[in-house]
Amino acid sequence: MHDCLFCRIVRGEIPAAKVYEDDEVLAFRDIQPQRPVHVLVIPKRHITSLAHAAPEDTPVLGRMLAVANGIAVDQGSTDGFRSIINTGRVGGQEVMHVHMHIVGGPDPVGPML
Ligand code: 5GP
Ligand code: ZN
């Protein structure tokens, strides 16, 4: 059991505005949205970062990509979106549990993150 922030959200110990869930992944709204649509997609099982991913993590990492478009469209990002994964200190990763930002919305999406 991991004591990290996103593992605690998975366990329901910290509230989050969930927008999608299946056996392997959870998606919830970012607490400080940078655009009208800003969702984080995470594996339910703890993976620290892409730098820590093992071969057995490949299916869940693929699943994160596979569910992205449906989540974006559901949230109102009907004309495309950005999907961003920050890795490690230089990559600007603040929460050490792999997460993909889905960023978009009706407004033009400029540079961010
Ligand atoms: P990173 O810089 O690690 O790629 O992004 C971490 C993201 O997690 C940030 O966009 C930040 O706003 C978000 N975040 C941090 N703490 C919480 C939280 O407790 N709940 C939610 N929903 N988002 C969080
Ligand atoms: Zn975790």
Which stretches of the chain score pLDDT less than 50?
Answer: none
Query: Is the CB of residue 7 below 6 angstroms from any atom belonging to ligand 1?
Result: no
Q: Is 28 in the pocket of ligand 1 (CB under 6 A)?
A: yes
Alpha-carbon distances, residue 58 vs 10, 30, 107 (angstroms): 20, 24, 33
For residue range 59-73, list pLDDT tens digits in order: 999 999 999 999 999
Nearest protein Cα to ligand 1, atom 21 = 31
For residue 2, what pLDDT is reported? Answer: 85
Contact 99, 6 (CB under 8 A): yes
> pTM of this prediction?
0.95
In the annotation, is 99 catalytic?
yes
ipTM at complex level? 0.99
Question: What fold, for 5-104?
Answer: HIT family, subunit A (3.30.428)
| Residues whose CB is less than 8 angstroms from the CB of residue 65 and which lie 6 or more positions away in sequence, other chains included | 83, 100
Q: What pLDDT score does 107 carry? A: 66
- Atom 17 (ligand 1) nearest CA: 31
